[in-house]
Amino acid sequence: MRGHALLSASSSHRWIHCPPSIRLGERYENRGSEYAAEGTEAHLLCEYRLKQMLGIPMEDPVPGLQYYSPEMEANAEGYAQYVAEVYEKAKESCEDPIVLIEQQVSYERWVRDGFGTADALVVADGTLHVIDYKNGKGVLVECEDNSQMRCYGLGSLELFDGIYDIQNISMTVYQPNRDNISTCMLVKEDLLEWADTVLAPAATLAFEGKGDYACGDWCQFCPVKHICRARADYAMELAKYDFADPDVLEDEDIEDILARADELTSWASDVKDYALRQALSGKEWKGWKLVEGRSNRKYTDEEAVAETVQKAGFDPYEKKLLGITAMTQTLGRKRFNELLGGLVMKPTGKPVLVPESDKRPAMNTAKDDFKEEQ
């Protein structure tokens, strides 16, 4: 098993758009997080449940999982069931499909030392299925134009294109914590053309540390995002508006600000986090000091509190209905839908401005309603 790839599939969205960021990031330590650790454990449980469903021996990892929970269990079981269903469907059109789990694939034909690990592959004549589990609850991961999934698809083709008659590559992101199963399909020739014209040129620049710095949503997981000069310059371009009254800004100004506002907020937060970490390590910032933040009172021993209050004749616990996610985990998805499907509704969301590329349909406004009445 090889180590971590410099031009990994998971970071490809960044190095395709901002090639020199990869070499720049080598100078800085990759700081882990609890979210990453939990995601690693979730992947391990997914692997175990899928192998268990397919009758493949593997030691039960649950006793050693620090972040194990009913939610993680339900997610892993749902993932395993989904992959198994794709496999059963493949049997309908192919005599000998195979399932590969945590399969290392190489896309070195286009990217120097390029390799990664696909969570699940279902290989069959006609369509090759690439399935990737995402544990994140924050960023919604779409499959459309997803370079990580495309890299996995390319690596899978390198392994099986001469063995199976593959015409299409189906790529699926399975993200249960966002109720998101995103699937897209690419014709093999289109994927290979993308690899030749987009992936390979960007990889060459990235490996050599060349190309132009560029800012975008790919900055989110960059190790130098907090001190990147290009990102700072991009964010500070908003200063040209000099905090002008919105009423006197031109439409073009508002549109420019909207395009940058979220990134400006994110950049400012990253800079503050970096400054705090440095201060905790002994760095002194002129005009700033470390102080103890506000905190809330909490019990030192909850069991002792409950026992004391009960002895005094009071009930120390509050009762409330389980939320939809917790109730689904308690009943199971199928039973939940049978019992409570008719008692669940999704209220209209609060209006929010998003780029036109967002897949959600546009809302009707008062102007639209007036046009309809006319």
308-335: pLDDT as tens digits = 999 999 999 988 888 887 788 788 878 8
Q: Answer yes or no: are the C-beta atoms of 119 and 75 closer than 8 Å.
A: no
Least confident of 29-33, 173-177, 359-363: 29-33
Which residue spans within the chain are E strands per DSSP? 98-106, 115-123, 126-133, 166-175, 180-187
Q: Please give the average per-residue pLDDT across 84-112, as a whole number.
A: 94
What is the value of pTM for the model shown? 0.72
Q: What is the pLDDT of residue 372?
A: 54
Q: Please give the average per-residue pLDDT across 288-304, as a whole number.
A: 87
Q: What is the pLDDT of residue 145?
A: 92
Residues in Cβ contact with 127 at an 8 Å cutoff, skipping those fewer than 6 apart:
90, 166, 167, 168, 169, 170, 185
Every domain range in the chain assigned CATH 3.90.320: 12-208
Q: What angle do CA 42, 115, 47 make, to 5 degrees?
A: 25
183 - beta bridge partners?
172
Half-sphere exposure (CA, 13 Å, Cβ side) for 26?
Answer: 14
Q: Answer yes or no: are the C-beta atoms of 43 and 136 closer than 8 Å.
A: no
Q: Please give the average per-residue pLDDT across 180-184, as a whole number.
A: 92
Q: What is the pLDDT of residue 362?
A: 84
Instruction: Please give the Cα distance from 271 to 221 (Å, whole number).
Output: 14
Look at residue 215 and tell me whether its pLDDT is greater than 70: yes
Q: Please give the average per-residue pLDDT across 154-161, as a whole number.
A: 95
Q: Which residue has the higher pLDDT, 234 or 307?
A: 307
Q: What is the pLDDT of residue 1?
A: 43
Residue 215 buriedness (CB in 10 A; 0-12 / 13-18 / 19+): buried
Q: How would residue 303 be classed by pLDDT, with cut points 50, 70 and 90?
A: very high
DSSP state of 180: E
Q: Which residue has the higher pLDDT, 30 or 140?
A: 140
pLDDT in tens, 95-105: 999 999 999 99
The H helix count followed by the E strand count for the chain is 13, 5
Q: Answer yes or no: are the C-beta atoms of 213 and 228 closer than 8 Å.
A: yes
Q: Please give the average per-residue pLDDT across 290-307, as a whole number.
A: 88
User: For 224, phi and psi rounded to 5 degrees?
Assistant: -115, 20
Q: How would residue 292 be classed by pLDDT, with cut points 50, 70 and 90?
A: confident
Residue 125 CB neighbour total at 10 angstroms: 16
DSSP state of 322: P
Q: How would residue 139 be classed by pLDDT, with cut points 50, 70 and 90?
A: confident
Q: What is the pLDDT of residue 361?
A: 83
Instruction: Please give the Cα distance from 237 to 278 (Å, whole number).
Output: 26
Q: Answer yes or no: are the C-beta atoms of 178 and 143 closer than 8 Å.
A: no
Place of tokens 């900055």: 219
What CATH number has the domain spanning 12-208? 3.90.320
Q: What is the pLDDT of residue 365?
A: 67
Whole-number average pLDDT of the chain? 87
